[in-house]
Structure 1
Amino acid sequence: MDNLLDLSDRLYLDVADFAHSTPHWFQWLAEVWTELGLLLFGALFLAGWWRSRDRSGEAMALALLAPLATAFGYVVSEGLKSLIDEERPCRAVVGAPAPLVDCPVYGDWSFPSNHSAIAGAAALALALSWRGMAWLTVPMALLMAFSRVFVGVHYPHDVTAGLLLGALVAVLFMKAARRPTRSLVDTARSSRSSAVVWCAGRGPVAPAHAAAHASAYSARRPRARHGAH
């Protein structure tokens, strides 16, 4: 265990030295990405909900669960952080250069990384609810985790644990809550409240209903008049 922590210290120093050797614009991007990534994940949650309004109840249930699973991942991470009480590397590592951002105050502990837990949970939750999104969300999560080490406020083992923890919590949460949430979606879609139905979406149009709608439309169309022969 001590060897792993020593390795994490050395990796932290290597990343910190590399960060200080990069141009200022690159350092600024790393600082911004730490928070901007969270906003982009939020935008993807909204887009996932919107695209699921005319899809199956299962699709809508997963879209609704994705942000909830991410929030639950954060709660679990914060609970562990308060139990482990690991000091931030920007104060604990001897000889470390100054972090690119302000070192968090004493008592804001380091392990695991909450940002990384949120990123890991969001990446997996979106991948489960939106087929084909892993190619985007997983790199986003990895970059967010790396940025926390890059700016100097987390050890590599903090962000690794955060990513894995968030992803695991998200998968378990969505698996456990999928069926009851789908039942709620089906109930909401049959509600008499137009606002509730709008939020849950009407789901896919049934083939019979679509055929009846097409027949009614055809019946309302004026018939072409045939000319005299």
Structure 2
Amino acid sequence: MIDTHLFDLINAFARATPWLHGVMTAYALWAGLVVLALLLVAGWWWTARYRQDAPRAVATAVLTGVAAVVAVLVNQNLFSPAIGRVRPCRALAPVEVLLPCSNDYSMPSDHTVIGGAFVIGLLILSWRLGRPAVLLALLLAFSRVYVGVHYPADTVVGLLLGAVIGAVVVLGGRRGATTLAQRLTRTRLRALVTARPTADLRSPRLDRVG
């Protein structure tokens, strides 16, 4: 099976590169998602201060975070149990495993589902932010295989599933979220949405995020 063969190749690479274990383990476990989340927060900060369509852009950033939560919940409660794939660290032996091998299912990968949702939201928000997010998410996908807890297909499917759910949540909820963000510009929470004068904010129908 191609997927198992690719896993074996990456796992052999992991065995041959012990000097990478610390970095890859941290990135696979938490750092990859933290970096993507920080990129999203930076996008929120930047759009609130410099974008003329700040309410719409901030709404996109917030919905991206919501989309990541929705995507992982959908995966954990629907797709992953339905597929029921056993993790390679339990199905194959011997393998190099750098993280504790969980008892939950392998496909799709929760980490890459979240990563896919972040990526699509950041691409919708700004190509400038989205392009590095793509590379960071691909590295996250590779790292989950490197540490021995997922097959390559688990991570690819996770990225695609997260991107689809993310697009549905962000594009589907953006109009309502933009309206709410515009209302916040007239309250004490205005600083969360924009630092620009009210007269300088564009109508969301005339703007294009990205």
TM-score class, shorter-chain normalisation, is 0.7 to 0.9
Cα distance in 2 between the residues matched to 1:78 and 1:203: 41
Question: What is the TM-score of this pair, normalised by structure 2?
Answer: 0.86
- In structure 1, the partner of 2:91 is 92
% same residue? 32
Cα distance in 2 between the residues matched to 1:183 and 1:172: 18
- In structure 1, the partner of 2:43 is 48
Structure number with greater Rg is 1
Compared CA separation, residues 82 and 19, structure 1 to 2 (3 A)? same
Moved over 3 A (4+): 202-205
2:59 to 51, 61, 72: 61
TM-superposition CA deviations, 1:96-139 (whole Å, max 9, x none): 423122222x3x11111001111111111112112312221000
Say how many residue pairs are matched: 195
Cα distance in 2 between the residues matched to 1:96 and 1:77: 28
- In structure 1, the partner of 2:127 is 131
Q: In the TM superposition, what is the alpha-carbon distance from 1:204 to its structure 2 partner? A: 4.8
* Contact 1:77 1:112 (8 Å CA) reproduced: yes
Cα distance in 2 between the residues matched to 1:99 and 1:183: 48
TM-superposition CA deviations, 1:41-89 (whole Å, max 9, x none): 2212221221222332211211221211122221122121133221111
Cα distance in 2 between the residues matched to 1:71 and 1:203: 30
* Contact 2:43 2:129 (8 Å CA) reproduced: no
The amino acid across from 2:39 in the alignment is: L
Cα distance in 1 between the residues matched to 2:44 and 2:98: 36
Structure having greater relative contact order (Cα 8 Å, sep ≥ 6): 2
Compared CA separation, residues 132 and 204, structure 1 to 2 (3 A)? farther
Question: What is the TM-score of this pair, normalised by structure 1?
Answer: 0.79
TM-superposition CA deviations, 1:155-186 (whole Å, max 9, x none): 11111100110111111111100100011011
1:166-185 to 2 correspondence within 5 Å?
166-185=162-181
Q: RMSD between aligned alpha carbons?
A: 1.6
